[in-house]
Amino acid sequence: MPDHCHWLVELRNKTLGELMCRIKSRSCVAVNLATRSTTRLWQKGYYERALRKEDDLKAAARYLIKNPIRAQITTRIGDYPLWDACWV
């Protein structure tokens, strides 16, 4: 997606807040080093939806990977270069 991302992650030793802080920090540093910039890459905060044991994990994953189709970026999931859900 050009202006946001969706991830399905399993938390183990860290909180979601700690994970998001690390992802945002490291990716921003990497992009700014590559582009020789000091641009702010991410907005503050994030939106999360926690899956519970009774939720259908495969249905949630399939919903996420179909976003480029719903956004009319592609017509086939496999044609979208940034999808990665080999286990679904």
Contacts of 9 (CB under 8 A, 6+ apart): 16, 19
Report CA dihedral (31, 36, 40, 41) to the nearest 10 degrees.
-20
> Comparing 8 with 26, which gets the higher pLDDT?
26
Q: Are 41 and 32 in contact (CB under 8 A)?
A: yes
Report CA dihedral (57, 50, 7, 33) to the nearest 10 degrees.
-160
Residue 81's pLDDT band (cuts 50, 70, 90): confident
Residue 10's pLDDT band (cuts 50, 70, 90): confident
pLDDT (tens digit, 9 = 90+) per residue, 21-77?
999 999 999 999 999 999 999 999 999 988 888 888 888 888 888 888 888 988 988
